[in-house]
Structure 1
């Protein structure tokens, strides 16, 4: 073995202070959206635009807190795509990336159309009147419309080419553009407020009465429309979370910078909204200002600047809008193409998206397709529909991020969180609810936008299930590296495998014994695997890893002469590595060990089990041993009379009974005569309501019939209890082994209370095996969200009675 190179830890320099990182967030938020959408939103909400901006700021604080927590857990590149993949499953990770790609492309189209509109106005200032003879410049002037669209498309094509060539906006230019935007808005707001106070003689009541009554001319519905339409103007705080490795004292500065940047942006937006409503004249005393602004559409802010600064104000605002739209399009097109590139590299899009041009060192296909999307959307849709579509996509993505905060609190308690969002899960759940309301409410503004969003998601799911999922293992880069492998046979057996992932020697003994028994009874090969997780596989050498863990797990398989294989693997993701090896070795059953006692009451079975269990590649068993594994004498199986998981519980019982009746069990039994003792099996039905009591004969008959079909003789007992959990615990108090079906309870039940099997596992003194039958990725996803028809056997209790 050659001498290993010295290991060097590579990290970014922490040189961003609180002020610097706050300004990054402010610059990202105060983009082209505020210049383009303020006038349109004023026409939807009237003076209620102020309330819309204020409420959007509150929602942004919740979502920003979610980004701060997740960004502190996963500082590497990937952002929401990575977080959702970790917090939900691979399907939703793919879907979030697919939606993020489209959302950012829609945002680019919005900025392109904004550029075209502002440049068209600039041409008018230069004497080229493209609207000459038009009575309605928004709907009856094709020359003006297509000139604006053409200018926007030209900008999009130009920056697509620039991104392909590898050039990008420099930090200096970005800072200059940001400063110009903020200064113009603040100066315009200050002068506008000054005009308002002078005109009212300094009386606030006069200002309110003359300009802000009625405050909600279109009701709360108008406010919701304005909120949904302008929410894209609050998108940008996630950049702060992505800067974690470069920020000084990130524990303090990242959440504080997110909060400060949102508060600064909201303050500027509120001043701008007040001036837009109260400082200008519609020219007709019978026409409210907000109605006047609605006729101007995306150029409403230009008119505001022209009235506040009669000399040069219009030109100043146009130039600021052009600079803002240009920088925003460039940055967002870069981000959009990199999302597509990351998905292609990870095997979640076609491989061409993940390829880099060797001469320009840029992802050509990802950039080209992103640019094409921008052009198609800009040419096909009016600016309001583009904005609504982008906002719908971002709102749905933010919902997934909020969900992931709650999910990862349970499934990944081991993550190092430099910041935690307070009042979890209530604040993330509130964020989910509000984002959903805003997204749905946007349908009243543009059904086309929702149609586009649904079509894009359906198209993405079709691509995923038809092309990507069947080819994913072939396309994706292998996320692991095997550093040690040994086997009882030198050549491949071609047998299916029972996979036993082990973390330490304590758990390896019992889990390995159980896995060996199932492999023996089913004629399978045993695969014992120890995964060492590391972000950078190149920093780990084989001689640094304890490869004896798998030797402990395979001890019983050697006693039973079961073909076995021992793997020690280094991988970036334990769950992905296990899934990949399960596919590679034709695994039909995975047996996990759950320590239970090492995880607090607010957490689930652990990151790996939860991530794989939501969309398992095969049948899985989750074991929890209160004592070392030995032959069970009394097995208890809770039942609802039906279901794939109940059938699997009886299959487990059948294999155990058959094994301990065989002479091979003499090789491993713990005490003399134990192999002659027959295993007693009891099926229990927990009754918590009169309706369930009436179902007792049917449940009894179907349970006994199912057990007999598995060659299992079982007693049947009805247990009256206040809730399912209490009934199971009471009935199993003298049992050696409790067999449970995995829970398919809904999101809120599991987040607030935990699943029934999990709660039972924590409290029982018996050893526990929880089963989940593989039924395909679509069925797993639908059952998880309550859309897959009747739930399985013991995991379908009457939860309301609890």
Structure 2
């Protein structure tokens, strides 16, 4: 089996231009006049403050993007970290935020189009709104028929825009007059208190850098290039905004700066004075700036509509919205329904709110700022939950200060929005929460990292926190997946019993897999064509699994997998099927395919989920012994013991081995540990001596021993051996080894921590 990948053909420049091209849109071509009218010349500081807030968030986006380079952006990170309720908020926020932003870009397009071409007034729509609706229809149509977006095209657009803006900046610099910039009221005619409200208005100019993370899978060397592209694009755009806005205000007095086409106006004033009295220069400069504005706003609007379709598709895949929305067009192969719904929203926003561009700009910003805040929280959750697959190549500096600051700055800026934008955005957030509880909660099976973290450590959190996690947890689908890797008919029944007990306890399902190892000399295609004998033996094994699973009230799915690899394929199957726990036999882990070296490397590198390895064939459970010294894998042992107690009614005994004289402290530790893992009624055994001897003496009295991996790791126990495992491997009772994923390094997993 091999995962499909997109060709990594985007370089650093292409990635950076995606961010720059998305950000340089109506923000710089439209907002300077509106923002200057509200704050005066100090609005330049507002653009810089907006860039600083964007930069802090860009650091977090860079870490998330390098940790999950196949992800689809903010929605994915939030849904995976905080769970589907917050995923619903993020998905709705991203979707509606992009719709508001698209409407804003279309209005910007309409403003410059109205300058360039005479447009009529139709009904209650002014000429700018008419132009915006025409633009919106074209952009929706382009996405409907599936025009391809490429890094090369975006690169050309960005360099054309930068060339136009550079020419304007040079001409403006030659015409710059500080007296014009300061004006009669000075640099801050409305006081410095106007800076942050103006920042709230212009922040829409910085939306788009996170889009780079959505193409991370296509990026060459994403661990290096992704953070450079994201952070670099924000830095470049911030400098461009500061220079251009300063230039505009030094050429045209801020009270006179156009609120519709400020760049064209400033160009018309600056070029004659810099070039001389050449006929038509001013008009030509204004025309070029207008064409640049049309190109920039068109690029931003088109990219926003495209991104909204991707978000809807991701939400449909996770069953948060109906897949009806993602129906693919039979001819154009595009999610046409999603595009049409988004287009309809854009039309409504243009028609109802298009006369007040500030509302569109701020509503887009509020929704995106909420998503950014949640992304920062999600990063903290990933870090604190120690998720093994979360392995970013870039990490934010000064953790956890940076993500905390990003969340606070994002939500703090929302406070400077007007009541109408906050109410609009709040309505969409509330609608997302209602939608989750009415529809999505009963459909989706996605468990967030936060929810799993709280549930696995119930004893460490107040009851209110655990109750809250349960209250918002999804209850759709089959719940957690317990995957069983079957290899030997003699161990099938015992493994299915363990998996069935866990699945019933957690409200999950069992996935029984039979991985058939094909010799390297035989192609998988050839093996598949001649699999009658394979199917017969595999079907017999999997049919027996179905029969044994009937003892538990759980659904079971069976699957045969042909592979050149043995144990390694277990890990691929676990990842592919999003397994929460893998149950397998010790013989399969120890000797699978005779590939111990490959096994060693695979098992010691970031387990995809919890692993349970059973050393034993027949299992008649009546009582189990759980030796513990604390730690994540002992937590997993406790969960297994609790599941067996509540599903097959076994008695549980807990064992803690101490040095002679440490019995009192040992009993206090074990009592606290039992209470924290809901095993208060278990028998507590505190024995002095060495672990090997004590387990060897106590274990034969029980029907099974459940041992959590120590810091040496599960593989070190199985392949290399340890004193503890050597002693209990010789026991006649079944032994279940448990390991919970951790962030140990490869050396630590193999050799242990010194």
Q: TM-score, normalised by structure 1?
A: 0.59
In the alignment, does 2:316 pair up with 1:344? yes
In structure 2, distance between residues paired with 1:262 and 1:525: 44
The yes-or-no answer on 1:466 pairing with 2:429 is: no
Cα offset for 1:105? 1.3
Measure the CA separation in 2 of the matches of 1:376 and 1:243: 30
Identify the match of residue 218 of structure 1 among 184, 188, 191: 191
Residue deviations 1:13-37 (CA, integer Å, cap 9, x gap): 5444433433333222212221122
Report the counterpart of residue 266 of structure 2 in structure 1: 304
For the 8 Å contact 1:501–1:530, the answer to whether it is kept is yes
Kept after mapping to 2: 8 A contact 1:520/1:562: no
Corresponding position of 1:723 = none
The aligned residue for residue 159 of structure 2 is: 179
Q: Which residue of 2 aligns with 1:389?
A: 363
Looking at structure 1, the residues matched to 324 and 550 of structure 2 have their Cα atoms a distance apart, in angstroms, of 47
Give the equivalent residue in structure 1 for 2:399: 424
1:407 aligns with 2:384: no
Q: CA 1:473 to 1:46, structure 2 compared with 1: closer, same or farther past 3 Å? A: same
For residue 426 of structure 1, report the CA deviation from its aligned partner.
2.1
Q: In the alignment, what sits opposite 2:454?
A: none
Report SS of the residue matched to 2:42: helix
1:577-726 pair list within 5 angstroms: 577=577, 608=609, 631=623, 659=651
In 2: Cα distance, 1:572 partner to 1:566 partner? 17
Report whether the alignment pairs 1:378 with 2:372.
Answer: no
Alpha-carbon distance, 1:364 to partner: 1.6
Distance 1:373 1:497 in 2: 35
Distance in 2 (CA, whole Å) between partners of 1:362 and 1:560 is 42
Name the counterpart of 1:71.
65
Map 1:78-97; keep pairs closer than 5 Å.
Answer: 78-97=72-91
Residues 746-776 of structure 1 show CA distances to partners (whole Å, capped at 9, x for unaligned) of xxxxxxxxxxxxxxxxxxxxx9999xxxxxx
Alignment of 1:14-413 (within 5 A): 14-76=8-70, 78-123=72-117, 146-168=126-148, 174-196=154-176, 199=177, 213-215=186-188, 217-219=190-192, 221-281=193-253, 289=254, 291-293=255-257, 296-309=258-271, 311-312=282-283, 313-381=285-353, 382-409=356-383, 410-413=385-388
Residues 420, 395 of structure 1: alpha-carbon distance in 2 compared, 3 angstrom cutoff: same
C-alpha distance in structure 1 between counterparts of 2:73 and 2:398, whole Å: 23
Q: Is the 8 A contact 2:641 2:652 kept in 1?
A: no
Question: Aligned in 2, Cα 1:243/1:48: closer, same or farther, shift over 3 Å?
Answer: same
Q: CA deviation at 1:379?
A: 0.8
How far residue 321 of structure 1 moved from its aligned partner, in angstroms, is 1.8
Separation of aligned partners in 1, 2:340 and 2:426: 23
CA contact (8 A) 2:652 2:683 kept: no
Q: Is the 8 A contact 2:200 2:417 kept in 1?
A: no
- Structure 1: 5+ residue stretches without partners: 1-6, 131-141, 201-205, 282-288, 475-495, 533-538, 583-589, 594-604, 610-621, 639-645, 662-680, 687-699, 716-734, 740-766, 771-802
Q: Secondary structure at the match of 2:393?
A: coil
Q: Deviations over 1:423-461 (max 9, x none)?
A: 3322122111111111x22xx543222222122222233
Partner-residue secondary structure (3-state), 1:47: coil
Q: How far apart are the structure 1 equivalents of 2:189 and 2:4?
A: 55
Work out whether residues 500 and 510 of structure 2, in 8 Å CA contact, stay in contact via their aligned partners in 1. Answer: no
Q: C-alpha separation between the residues in 2 aligned to 1:179 and 1:468?
A: 43
Three-state SS of the structure 2 residue aligned to 1:323 is helix
Residues 554, 400 of structure 1: CA spacing in aligned structure 2 closer, same or farther, 3 A cutoff?
Answer: farther
* C-alpha separation in 1, matches of 2:125 and 2:509: 68
C-alpha separation in 2, matches of 1:341 and 1:101? 11
1:167 and 1:92 map into 2 onto residues whose CA distance is 32
**Shift in Å at residue 412 of structure 1?**
2.7
1:387 CA drift (Å): 0.8
Helix, strand or coil for the counterpart of 1:412?
Answer: coil
Q: Structure 2 CA distance, aligned partners of 1:301 and 1:225?
A: 22
Q: C-alpha separation between the residues in 2 aligned to 1:379 and 1:520?
A: 53
In 2, the alpha carbon distance for the partners of 1:146 and 1:560 equals: 68
Question: Which residue of 1 is the match for residue 411 of structure 2?
Answer: 436
Q: Hey, what's the Cα distance between the residues in 1 that align with 2:479 and 2:202?
A: 54
Q: C-alpha distance in 1, partners of 2:526/2:196?
A: 58
Q: How many residues align?
A: 590
The answer to whether the 8 Å contact 2:46/2:195 transfers is yes
CA distance in 2 between partners of 1:44 and 1:503 (Å): 66
Report SS of the residue matched to 2:259: helix
Match of 1:760 in 2: none
SS at 1:189 equivalent: helix
1:64–1:237 contact (8 Å) kept in structure 2: yes
Q: 1:64 to 1:624 in 2, by over 3 A?
A: farther
Describe the shift of the 1:17–1:499 C-alpha distance in structure 2 as closer, same or farther (beyond 3 A). closer
Q: Distance in 2 between matches of 1:118 and 1:531?
A: 64
Distance 2:29 2:479 in 1: 61
Describe how 1:502-651 pairs up with structure 2 within 5 A.
515=498, 527=510, 529=512, 567=558, 577=577, 608=609, 631=623
Taking a change above 3 Å as real, the CA distance of residues 632 and 471 of structure 1, as seen in their structure-2 partners, is closer
Q: 1:467-496 deviations in whole A, cap 9, x for unaligned?
A: 34434579xxxxxxxxxxxxxxxxxxxxx9
Displacement of 1:357 in angstroms is 1.4
CA distance in 2 between partners of 1:179 and 1:521 (Å): 59
- Find the aligned partners of 1:170 and 1:497 in 2 and give their Cα distance: 39
Per the alignment, do residues 414 and 525 of structure 1 end up closer, same or farther by CA in structure 2, a change over 3 Å counting? closer
CA apart distance, 1:163? 2.3
- Quote the residue 1:664 is aligned against: none
Q: Is the 8 A contact 1:25 1:240 kept in 2?
A: yes
Cα displacement (A) at 1:388: 0.7
Contact 2:20 2:233 (8 Å CA) reproduced? yes
Q: Which has the higher mean CA deviation after the structures are superposed, 378-387 or 552-561?
A: 552-561
Once the two structures are superposed, residues 48-72 of structure 1 have per-residue CA deviations (whole angstroms, 9 ceiling, x without a partner) of: 3222222322332332232333222
Q: TM-score, normalised by structure 2?
A: 0.62
Contact 1:50 1:270 in 2 (8 A): yes
Structure 2 CA distance for partners of 1:180 and 1:354, relative to 1, 3 Å: same
1:451/1:210 Cα in 2 relative to 1: closer, same or farther (>3 Å)?
Answer: closer
| CA–CA distance in structure 1, aligned partners of residues 404 and 572 of structure 2 | 30
The 2-side partners of 1:430 and 1:166 are apart by 39
Output the CA distance in 2 between the equivalents of 1:330 and 1:516: 49
Given that 2:312 and 2:338 are in contact with CA atoms closer than 8 Å, whether structure 1 keeps it comes out as: yes
